């Protein structure tokens, strides 16, 4: 994890610093049930002056947030439910670099979160190719 930033109450963005192939792992310390909308993608939203694509917006509030409606036609948006402190790992293979966590409660602190990834790694043997 290269960066996890709180940009608004209950809203965090993250950057793994490189594209990952695998899935997300989120640990949360909480004493109350919480829902979190998880969005993940390969690009960030840009201003509409950057051209026409699924990853542009005319809303200044959305610039720099994750483009989870990807150019490939894939869309990664999921809702995870924590009924207590726990760790959740998704079991869906995803590929991307950026994401956001949007909680239904605004008082979630960055100190209560631990975010990581499980990744798929395959060795390459040129002689066997």
- At the topology level, CATH places domain 3-116 in Jelly Rolls (2.60.120)
Angle at alpha carbon of residue 50, lines to 47 and 55, rounded to 5° = 65
40 to each of 25, 30, 84, how far by Cα in Å? 12, 23, 24
DSSP-based three-state secondary structure for 127: helix
pLDDT digits (tens, 9 = 90+) for 48-106: 876 667 788 888 889 889 999 888 888 999 999 999 999 999 888 899 999 999 999 99
pLDDT digits (tens, 9 = 90+) for 20-40: 999 999 999 999 999 999 999
Residue 39 pLDDT: 96
Buried-state track 79-93, b at ≥16 Cβ within 10 A, e below 16: ebebeeeeeeebeee
Name the pTM for this structure: 0.87
pLDDT digits (tens, 9 = 90+) for 94-126: 999 999 999 999 999 999 999 999 998 878 888
């Amino acid at each position: 994890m290269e960066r996890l930033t709180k940009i608004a109450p209950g809203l965090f963005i993250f950057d793994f610093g490189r594209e990952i192939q695998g899935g997300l792992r989120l640990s949360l310390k909480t004493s109350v049930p919480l829902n979190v909308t998880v969005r993940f993608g390969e690009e960030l939203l840009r201003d509409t002056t950057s051209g026409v694509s699924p990853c542009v917006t005319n809303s200044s509030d959305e610039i720099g947030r994750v483009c989870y409606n990807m150019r490939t036609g894939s869309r990664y948006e999921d809702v995870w439910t924590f009924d207590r402190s726990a760790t959740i790992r998704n079991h869906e293979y995803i590929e991307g670099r950026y994401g956001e966590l949007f909680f239904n409660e605004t008082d979630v602190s960055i100190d209560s979160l631990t975010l990581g990834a499980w990744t798929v790694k395959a060795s390459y043997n040129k002689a066997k190719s």
